[in-house]
Structure 1
Amino acid sequence: MTADAAPPPVEEVAGRTTGAAVRGPRARTAAAYLRYGAAKLAGAAVSLFAVLVTGFFLFRLIPGDPVKTMTGGRPVSAEQLAQYRREFGLDLPLWEQFADYCRKALTGDLGTSYQFRAPVIDKITEALPNTLLLTGTAFVLYTVLGIVLGTRAAWRHGRLGDRIHTGLALTLYSVPSFWLGLLLIVVLAVGVGPVPGLFPTGGMESGGEEGLAHVLDVAHHLVLPVVTLVAVEYGQTLLVTRSALLDEMGSDYLTTARAKGLRDDLVRRRHAVPNALLPTVTLVFINLGRTVAGVILVETVFSWPGLGGLFYQALSVPDLPLVQGLFLLFASAVIIMNTLADLVYPLLDPRVGR
C-alpha cells in the first residue's frame, strides 16, 4: 500500500473478520461430521463382513444333509449324491466354499436354491413385495399410533389415560406375536361361540378375483396379521416417545415459552415434541430396517407368502444358499438403517458427533 492509498473502510475489515470467524466454526463442524460419518460407515462395513462370516458358518451347524433332503426320501445312489454335491459345490473344502460365497455375494450372486432350483435373488425378489406390503402397512400404523399416544400420555402423565395407555402398551409388547396371532385366528377367523369367523385364517388372497375385488380380497387377508404386528409393536414406540418427552417437560425453554403466553398445545407441538423425538427417530430407522426382514413368526402363523415364511421354509430343508441370502438381506437392512440413523442424528442434534 502506498502512502497516498486510503485504508480500507472499517466495515469491510469487520466483514472480512466476521466472515472468517463464521467460516472457521462451519469448517470445523463439517470436518467433525465427515470424521463421524466415516467412522460410522467403516463400522457398518465391518458389521456387514461379520454378517457374511456368521451367515456362512452358523447355518452349517444345522443338523441334516441338504443333498439327501433334496431327493425327498427317494432311493438315490452314492454316485448321484456325489453329483449333487459337485453341482452345488458342497464337495469343496469349507474355506473354498466360503471364499466363493463371499466373492459371489459382493457381485449380488447369492447362489442357487437347493429346493427351488432357482437363483436365490429371484426368490427374494418374488417374496419381497408381499413382505413390504404387510410390514410396511403395520410400520406406518404402529409408528403413528405410538408417537401420538406416547405424546399424549407424557403430556398428561399420572392421569388415568396415561396409566391405561402405558399399561396396555407394556402388556401387549410383552405378548409373543405368534401367540396373539393364533388367538386372533381362533376368535376372529374360525369363530368362537356366537362370534362368527370374519376374516380368512391365512394366505394372501382367495384366488379368482380381479381388479378392485382382488385389492379388497388382499386387504381382507391383511387385517389380522397387521393387527397382530401393530398390537405388539406400537408399545415400544409409545414408551420411548413418552420417556423422551417426560425428560424434556422440565426444561427451562418450555417454562419460558409458557411465560410468553403460548398456549399449552402450541408449546407441546412446536417446542417439546420436536426435541423429544430424537430417540424416536433412531427407533423408527431401526423398525424401518426390520420391515425388510419381515416377521418370521407372524408370516408363518398366517401363511403369508413373504420373506419370513420363505426363511422358515428354507430352514426346514436346510436350503443353505436361500437361508444365507435371506439372513444377509435381513441383517444388511438393519445395519444400513442403523447407519442412516447415525448419519441423520447429528443433523437433528448438532451436539452428536462432536
Structure 2
Amino acid sequence: MIAFIIRRLIQSIGVLLLTSVLVFCGVFAIGDPIAILVPADASPAEIAQAVQSLGLDQPLWQQYLHFIGRALHGDLGRSFVFNQPSIQLILERLPATLELALVALVLALIVGLPLGLIAGLKAGSVFDRTVMTGSILGFSLPNFWQGIMLVLIFSVTLGWLPSAGRGQPGMLFGIHTSLATWDGFRHLLLPALNLSLFKMSLVTRLTRAGVRETLPLDYVKFARAKGLRERRVIFVHVLKNILIPIVTVVGMEFGSLIAFATVTETIFAWPGVGKLIIDSITKLDRPVIVAYLLIVVAMFTLLNLAVDIIYSLLDPRVRLEAA
C-alpha cells in the first residue's frame, strides 16, 4: 500500500509539471492583459512601466522558469487585478465552492441511491420507467437552463427560496459554513440542487444497473436460499457490492463538481472560485487562471488516489501493486 501511494505521488508530480507547462504557455500566449489593465489614454512610458512591473517584458520560457521557482515556495504569482497572491484569492473563495459541491454530492447520493435501488428491484414497472425518464432529462437538459427554471419556479413564482448570494453563514463545529444558519441553508439549497441534478441522474442509473447485474448472481440466490431476510440480502449482499463502482465514479465526479461549478455559481451569484475564475478570464488575470487550473489538477489527482484506496478497502481482492 505504501509503495503504491509513493508511486502514485511521483506520477502526480509529473502530471502537475506537464500540466503547468501546458497551462502556463496556453494562458500566457493568449490576449494582452495590458490592453485591459492600462487606461486607453496611457502614455507609451506608462505602458512600458506596466509591462515591466508585471514581468511581461521577459521571454515566455523565462517567465515560466520564474513561475516554477516561485511555485516551489508556495507562490503561484500575484493577481494582475487585485495585486494579491493568486493562491490567497482562490483559498478565500474555495470554502464556498467546496460547501456547494459537498451539499450537491450529498443530495445526489441521498436521492440517487434509493431511486436507483428501487428502480432496479422493480425493473419494468411504472416507477422504474418514470425514474429512468427523469434521469434522461437530468442528463439532457443544460445546466444553465435548469438553474434559470429553478429560479423562476422557486424564487420568482413561489417565492420560497432566495435566488442569489450566500446568505448569512455561521459557525458549525468550528467551520464557517452556510449550513449553520437557516438563512444560509435557504441560499444554498437552490444552487446545490442545480449542481446535483446531473450527478443525481448518474448515481440513479449506476445504482439501477448495478442492482440488475447483481440480482441474478449465485451468491445472491444462495443468500435467499439460506432463508435470509430480503432486507439483509439487498443491503448487505447487493448494495455493498454495487457501491464499489459507484464510489469510484462519485469520487471523480466530486472533483468535477468543484471544477465545473462555474455556471451554477454565475447563475446564483454564489461567491465561490467559479465566479472568480470567470471574472479573471474576462480581465485576463493570468496568474489567477493558472493557479486555479493547477489547484484543480492537484485536487483531481488526490481524489483519484483517495478513490483507489477506498476501492481497495471495499474490495480486498483488488491488487494495488498491479495498478
TM-score, L = length of structure 2: 0.89
The secondary structure found in structure 2 opposite 1:161 is helix
Matching of residue 347 in structure 1 with residue 313 in structure 2 = yes
CA shift at 1:291, angstroms?
4.5
The secondary structure found in structure 2 opposite 1:201 is coil
Matching of residue 50 in structure 1 with residue 18 in structure 2 = yes
Matching of residue 88 in structure 1 with residue 54 in structure 2 = yes
The secondary structure found in structure 2 opposite 1:205 is coil
Structure 2: tracts of 5 or more residues without a match: 170-177
CA shift at 1:68, angstroms?
2.2
The Cα offsets for residues 314-350 of structure 1, whole Å up to 9 and x where unpaired, read as 0001100001111111221112101221233233223
1:239 aligned to which of 205, 219, 223: 205
The Cα offsets for residues 195-247 of structure 1, whole Å up to 9 and x where unpaired, read as x433333222389xxxx9x9332222222212212223211111122222222
The secondary structure found in structure 2 opposite 1:113 is coil
Matching of residue 155 in structure 1 with residue 149 in structure 2 = no
Matching of residue 227 in structure 1 with residue 193 in structure 2 = yes
Q: How many residues are paired up?
A: 311
The CA distance in 1 between the partners of 2:239 and 2:161, in whole Å, is 38
The Cα offsets for residues 49-69 of structure 1, whole Å up to 9 and x where unpaired, read as 22212221222343x311221
The CA distance in 2 between the partners of 1:61 and 1:178, in whole Å, is 30
CA change 1:252–1:296 in 2 (3 A) is same
CA change 1:313–1:277 in 2 (3 A) is same
Give the letter for the 1:48 counterpart: L
Given that 1:294 and 1:307 are in contact with CA atoms closer than 8 Å, whether structure 2 keeps it comes out as no
The secondary structure found in structure 1 opposite 2:304 is helix
Alignment partner, residue 310 of structure 1: 276
The Cα offsets for residues 5-51 of structure 1, whole Å up to 9 and x where unpaired, read as xxxxxxxxxxxxxxxxxxxxxxxxxxxx5554454334323222222
What does residue range 185-334 of structure 1 map to in structure 2 within 5 Å? Answer: 185-191=151-157, 196-205=158-167, 215-293=181-259, 295-334=261-300
Matching of residue 183 in structure 1 with residue 149 in structure 2 = yes
TM-score, L = length of structure 1: 0.81
CA change 1:344–1:181 in 2 (3 A) is same
Alignment partner, residue 35 of structure 2: 68
Greater alpha carbon shift after TM alignment, 300-309 vs 229-238: 229-238
CA change 1:87–1:147 in 2 (3 A) is same
The CA distance in 2 between the partners of 1:39 and 1:342, in whole Å, is 13
The CA distance in 2 between the partners of 1:170 and 1:105, in whole Å, is 43
CA shift at 1:282, angstroms?
0.7
The CA distance in 2 between the partners of 1:205 and 1:173, in whole Å, is 29
What does residue range 160-171 of structure 1 map to in structure 2 within 5 Å? Answer: 160-171=126-137
Given that 1:132 and 1:294 are in contact with CA atoms closer than 8 Å, whether structure 2 keeps it comes out as no
The CA distance in 2 between the partners of 1:47 and 1:144, in whole Å, is 34
Identity within the alignment, %: 33
Alignment partner, residue 109 of structure 1: 75
CA change 1:61–1:239 in 2 (3 A) is farther
CA change 1:188–1:61 in 2 (3 A) is farther
The secondary structure found in structure 2 opposite 1:200 is coil
Alignment partner, residue 142 of structure 1: 108
The Cα offsets for residues 145-186 of structure 1, whole Å up to 9 and x where unpaired, read as 222222222122222212211221121122111111112222
The CA distance in 1 between the partners of 2:99 and 2:9, in whole Å, is 29
Given that 1:131 and 1:294 are in contact with CA atoms closer than 8 Å, whether structure 2 keeps it comes out as no
Bigger CA radius of gyration: 1
The CA distance in 2 between the partners of 1:216 and 1:87, in whole Å, is 46
